[in-house]
Amino acid sequence: MNKDIKIEINHVSKVYDTDLVETHALKDINIKIYEGDYVSISGPSGGGKSTLLSIIGLLDEASGGELKIEGKDVTSLTQDQAAEVRNTKLGFIFQSFNLIEELSVYDNVALPLTYRTDGLAAEEIDKKVKECLEKVSLSHRLDHFPNQLSGGQQQRVAIARALAADPAILLVDEPTGNLDSTTGDQVMQLLEELNAQGTTICMVTHDSRYADMARTKYQLKDGVLQVEEEQLSEAV
Ligand SMILES: Nc1ncnc2c1ncn2[C@@H]1O[C@H](COP(=O)(O)OP(=O)(O)OP(=O)(O)O)[C@@H](O)[C@H]1O
């Protein structure tokens, strides 16, 4: 197989040390996520799923081990460097959409692009925003505000915003948690379509039905990662 490795994690551990108790949330995690893969991580509450996604997303630091994104070591970055990698390499989709209520659909998708230090021209941003909203079938809602949209539409705006940066990977945390089951199914179908078009996805979910839609399935229990079924990714 000659696919690029998007995410590589070697011997990652995480210990939360509070006054009363030391929690080993992640224990010697090893995983490679290849270009074009669709990875799901499921498992019981408290198993370490959010912790792992936060570490991959550079929102939290590991206690030990190594993390690479597209071959670049990102284990020990300054806060500014981590923010730059998050903005240019990682697309986030959360249960709670995290849209800015005061901004239109168009501006919500455009905003992260305007922060970039590689200075995208206004026309490039405009083209990208419209292209991504087209991908999630929301071209007819550019001037709407989040509170004028359904939950499923809001999540699709969040997906467009995540795609706009051409990220190395989409990091998806319980994407249907705030949606009814029909709308949730539609969002999952959209993620499948995006993956079929080449987007690499790593998704955390409680829902085994949705976890099964992924190509490579992991279980995380008591901080230990186990592969259930694997096609492209490789737990080493
Ligand atoms: N900030 C923190 N301080 C101390 N312990 C924490 C902290 N965050 C998480 N933990 C502990 O780390 C372990 C893993 O938590 P994590 O939230 O990653 O699990 P999870 O699989 O995402 O759970 P859920 O499915 O309920 O969201 C748990 O035992 C939790 O109590």
Pocket test for ligand 1, best of 18, 26, 41, 49 (most atoms within 8 A of CB): 49
pLDDT of res. 119: 74
What is the rounded average pLDDT of the residues 15-41? Answer: 95
> Is pLDDT above 80 for 184?
yes
Of 43-47, 114-118, 168-172, 232-236, minimum mean pLDDT range = 232-236
pLDDT of res. 231: 62
pLDDT digits (tens, 9 = 90+) for 215-226: 999 999 999 999
- The response to whether residue 42 sits with its C-beta less than 6 Å from ligand 1 reads no
- Interface ipTM: 0.97
Contact 93, 176 (CB under 8 A): no
| C-alpha–C-alpha distance, residues 55 and 60, integer Å | 5
> Is pLDDT above 60 for 53?
yes
For residue 19, what pLDDT band results from cuts at 50, 70 and 90?
Answer: confident
- The response to whether residue 18 sits with its C-beta less than 6 Å from ligand 1 reads yes
Report which protein residue has its CA nearest ligand 1's atom 28: 46
> Is pLDDT above 60 for 20?
yes
Q: Note the residue count of the chain.
A: 236
What is the rounded average pLDDT of the residues 130-143? Answer: 94
Q: Tokens for 11?
A: 């011997």
- The response to whether residue 21 sits with its C-beta less than 6 Å from ligand 1 reads no
Report which protein residue has its CA nearest ligand 1's atom 29: 46
pLDDT of res. 117: 66
Indicate which atom in ligand 1 lies nearest the CA of residue 50: 22
- The response to whether residue 16 sits with its C-beta less than 6 Å from ligand 1 reads yes
pLDDT of res. 2: 57
Burial class for 145, CB neighbours closer than 10 Å (0-12, 13-18, 19+): middle
> Is pLDDT above 60 for 1?
no
What is the DSSP annotation of 93-136?
EETT----TTS-HHHHHHHHHHT-TT---HHHHHHHHHHHHHHT
For residue 235, what pLDDT band results from cuts at 50, 70 and 90?
Answer: low
Q: Which residue has the higher pLDDT, 233 or 209?
A: 209
